[in-house]
Structure 1
């Protein structure tokens, strides 16, 4: 269980750190090669672009897990507590529906890539593999969103879904706990 707990807590962070380190290394190497050795690496731009896309999707899942994603909580909390809760639930439901829609589209896209293989220009790897981040990313975002609501249900539906304890409000009084 410790490995599962560690993965649940740090999976996105580890992938983001690796991908961003890869991007920084590729860009740094390219600068050195161009300005010091007056030549260019053929593969570094492609690797950096793939790393950045993977980092973005993993970062999005991380933001869902930590509830750092785009949401104007200051505005939502201006509403009465029950209305604020309803707005958050509605927004999360719409977001989950969007993720499901994107998962369907992404599966269709990957099935086309699997059927009609295409290779990246410089590395020559099958496009299916770097493009699989679409399914992985949206699937992980949806999983993290579901985890938030499972935890909220376990807490007895107290406060607002996914809000950290220091940011929770009492739904009855509207005051911070």
Structure 2
């Protein structure tokens, strides 16, 4: 069961990183077009700023969720590395539980935000404001799922790997 969950979450994290990267590239192109339009054509597209902001909400949420799965999110490990292994194990469990609850909170309150803003339209895009925020509950659900997987791995005694910069070791 854990292996099946691990395969699914690994593929999902890879997909999220790829989507986040594509969103960043697309946002960069949109902002580049906006700058070109403003300073060269003297006619900046009205939709570019809102479109880039919507993309940024989505790709940041997706990258944050993937960061939880892959362990490349921001954290300080100095205290964790300085304590005995049993205490380190407990600290990792507590960390994953807290991150999981943050994911649940994002899912619940992000979902409420989506519902409350669904009827509002982004004028320059003609899209629902709720659609812009839909990445929050999706990412929150995935963060909670990825944290649950890491909790299972920690309880099972697996060495939960993190993507760390080798220069810090």
TM-score, normalised to structure 2, is: 0.82
- Separation in 2, partners of 1:53, 1:70: 18
Match of 1:125 among 124, 127, 142: 127
Paired residues in the alignment total: 159
Q: Which has the larger radius of gyration?
A: 1
- Separation in 2, partners of 1:121, 1:165: 41
Q: Deviations over 1:15-50 (max 9, x none)?
A: 111110111001110111111111111011111111
Superposed counterparts of 1:64-75, under 5 Å: 64-75=68-79
Greater relative contact order, per chain length (Cα 8 Å cut-off, separation 6+): 2
Q: Equivalent residue for 1:17? A: 21
Q: Equivalent residue for 1:106? A: 110
Q: Equivalent residue for 2:35? A: 31
Q: Equivalent residue for 1:169? A: none
Q: Equivalent residue for 1:142? A: 144
Structure 1 residue runs of 4 or more that deviate by more than 6 Å after TM superposition = none
Q: Equivalent residue for 2:161? A: 163
More helix by share: 2
Identify unmatched segments of 5+ residues in structure 2. Answer: 165-169
- Separation in 1, partners of 2:163, 2:22: 30
